[in-house]
């Protein structure tokens, strides 16, 4: 590697080109790769240096990609077997229409927390959520806000790809990332409930055509549906409880397999594997593009500029973690990509400033959810489609999503940065 430092202009160009291409509907992986190449060339790295930085960046996240791919076994089993739908249905039916916003929030949160992708959780919960909200006389904005906030509360304390990326970036156990995510998750649930209630009569009314009867397909019993997530969590907890370390690469697939057996769906296991791989392949490919961007930005002077800006404002060093997470989450409109970039690029500097690795990871991870739902990301469009919401109306929720994310950022920063709970 030639040791040439990419200029700030090059790093910014990499991000801008990637964002513009994504907005132009270019596949995000290619958009970020093209952005990385453009940034390297504009930043003065030359062809050879640019390629070397891109390769080194992607090499740095290979282990995260492998773990995310194996996590597809659990995700495939939960989604394809009907386990996710059963869990959501049980929560919604238990609380009833009078408490439908709380039910929608809890159902979406639980599904995301046990390992279901946020967009899948929204799509799974949406049909019954619309039915219950219509009976209660509520409108779409309140329903979707309940889901959007719950997804973030679940993601920050789940074995989903964003948490795996945080664990990899800071060299920490996944269980530790999940544990420190509980505090911002509680904050997100409280704020979500308040915002959803505030918006319950805002926006478009739920029409008869929006309400589809929930399918009467054969769903597994609740205990069997919960077996996979429970087994996974139990295996991961062996490390803090008994000193037995079992990597998520093993724990997540085992949970999916045991859950499949418990549901009596052994003959469908091959299908669940295939479906899970298909769902995770998109994330894996996204991370390749993310790694390419990370290779360019981490070898640029952008990090030094941001650090200097923080010092000029008189902010403490630990503030680099939440600021980096928020910026990278906004740039990629993805909590997974944002966490990966922030961890890989800024993580070592935050830790070198004296912040405990777990505290740095907690603040970085939580802050990636402030702007991860912007329109150049897929979650923005998938979540709107789940409740048949027009894009113009979906845009009105961005400010409320940011409030939710800022609450997570603020709580995490206060607990782990200001009060030094983790040292």
Which secondary-structure segment (H or E) carries 147?
helix 140-155
DSSP readout, 24-92?
Answer: TT--HHHHHHHHHHHHHHHTT-HHHHHHHHHHHHHHTTHHHHHHHHHHHHHHHHHHHTSHHHHHHHHHH
CB 383 within 8 A of CB 147: yes
Q: What is the pTM of this model?
A: 0.92
Closest CA to 221 of 186, 262, 184, 251: 262
Name, in order, each residue with C-beta under 8 angstroms of 319's C-beta and a sequence gap of 6 or more: 310, 413, 417
Q: Is the pLDDT of residue 162 over 80?
A: yes
- The confidence score (pLDDT) of residue 274 equals 96
- CA 115 to chain centroid: 11
Mean per-residue pLDDT, 31-38:
96
Q: Is the pLDDT of residue 211 over 90?
A: no
**How sure is the predictor about 216, in pLDDT bands with cuts at 50, 70 and 90?**
low
The confidence score (pLDDT) of residue 1 equals 46
Per-residue pLDDT for 36 more than 60? yes
Q: Let me know: does 190 contact 130? Beta carbons within 8 Å.
A: no
pLDDT in tens, 150-160: 999 999 999 99
Average pLDDT taken over every residue of the chain: 93
Judge contact between 253 and 73, C-beta under 8 A.
yes
Q: pLDDT per residue over 318-350, tens digit each?
A: 999 999 999 999 999 999 999 999 999 999 999
Paired strand residues for 300: 6
Residue 243: Cβ-neighbour burial (10 angstroms; 0-12, 13-18, 19+): exposed
Report the alpha-carbon distance of residue 342 to residue 347 in Å, rounded: 7
- Residues 218-241 have pLDDT tens digits of 889 999 999 999 999 999 999 888
Q: Is the Cβ–Cβ distance between 73 and 276 less than 8 Å?
A: yes
Rounded mean pLDDT of 177-182? 97
Contacts of 227 (CB under 8 A, 6+ apart): 258, 259, 262, 263
What pLDDT band is residue 391 in, cutting at 50, 70 and 90?
very high
pLDDT in tens, 18-28: 999 998 989 99
Question: For the residues 172-188, what does the mean pLDDT come to?
Answer: 97
CB-CB contact of 149 with 112 (8 Å): no
Q: Is the pLDDT of residue 373 over 70?
A: yes
Mean pLDDT computed over 207-215: 72
Cα distances from 113 to residues 44, 106, 150, 258, in angstroms, run 43, 10, 9, 18
Burial of 312 (0-12, 13-18, 19+ CB in 10 A): exposed
Tell the burial category of 314 from Cβ atoms under 10 Å away from its Cβ (0-12, 13-18, 19+). exposed
| Mean pLDDT (whole number) for 41-67 | 94
Q: Which residues pair with 205 in a beta bridge?
A: 139
């Amino acid at each position: 590697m030639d040791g040439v430092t990419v200029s700030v202009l090059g790093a910014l160009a990499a991000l801008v080109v990637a964002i513009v291409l994504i907005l132009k509907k270019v596949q995000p992986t290619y958009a970020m790769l093209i952005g990385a190449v453009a940034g390297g060339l504009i930043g003065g790295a030359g062809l050879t240096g640019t390629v070397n930085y891109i390769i080194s960046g992607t090499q740095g996240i290979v282990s995260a990609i492998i773990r995310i791919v194996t996590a597809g076994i659990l995700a495939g089993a939960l989604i394809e077997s009907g386990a996710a739908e059963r869990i959501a249905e049980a929560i919604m039916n238990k609380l009833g229409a009078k408490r439908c916003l709380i039910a929608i929030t809890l159902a979406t949160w639980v599904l995301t927390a046990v390992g279901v992708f946020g967009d899948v959780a929204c799509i799974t919960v949406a049909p019954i959520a619309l039915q219950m909200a219509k009976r209660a006389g509520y409108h779409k904005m309140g329903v979707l806000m309940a889901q959007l906030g719950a997804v973030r509360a679940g993601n920050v304390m789940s074995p989903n790809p964003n948490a795996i990326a945080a664990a990899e970036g800071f060299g920490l156990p996944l269980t530790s990332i999940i544990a420190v995510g509980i505090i911002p998750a509680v904050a997100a649930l409280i704020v979500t409930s308040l915002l959803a209630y505030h918006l319950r009569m805002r926006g478009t009314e739920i029409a008869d055509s929006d309400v589809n009867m929930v399918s009467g397909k054969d769903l597994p019993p609740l205990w069997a549906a919960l077996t996979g997530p429970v087994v996974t969590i139990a295996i991961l907890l062996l490390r803090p409880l008994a000193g037995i370390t079992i990597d998520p690469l093993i724990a997540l697939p085992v949970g999916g397999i045991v859950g499949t057996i418990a549901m009596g769906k052994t003959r469908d296991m091959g299908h669940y594997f295939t479906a899970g791989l298909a769902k995770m392949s998109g994330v894996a490919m996204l991370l390749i593009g993310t790694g390419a961007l990370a290779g360019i930005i981490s070898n640029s002077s952008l990090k030094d500029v941001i650090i200097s800006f923080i010092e000029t404002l008189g902010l403490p060093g630990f503030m680099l973690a939440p600021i980096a997470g928020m910026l990278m989450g906004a740039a990629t409109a993805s909590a997974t990509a944002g966490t990966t970039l922030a961890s890989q690029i800024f993580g070592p500097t935050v830790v070198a400033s004296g912040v405990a690795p777990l505290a740095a990871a907690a603040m970085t991870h939580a802050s990636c959810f402030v702007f991860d739902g912007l329109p150049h990301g897929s979650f923005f469009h998938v979540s709107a489609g789940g409740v048949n919401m027009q894009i113009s109306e979906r845009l009105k929720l961005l400010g409320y999503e940011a409030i939710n994310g800022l609450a997570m950022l603020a709580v995490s920063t206060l607990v782990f940065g200001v009060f030094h709970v983790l040292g």
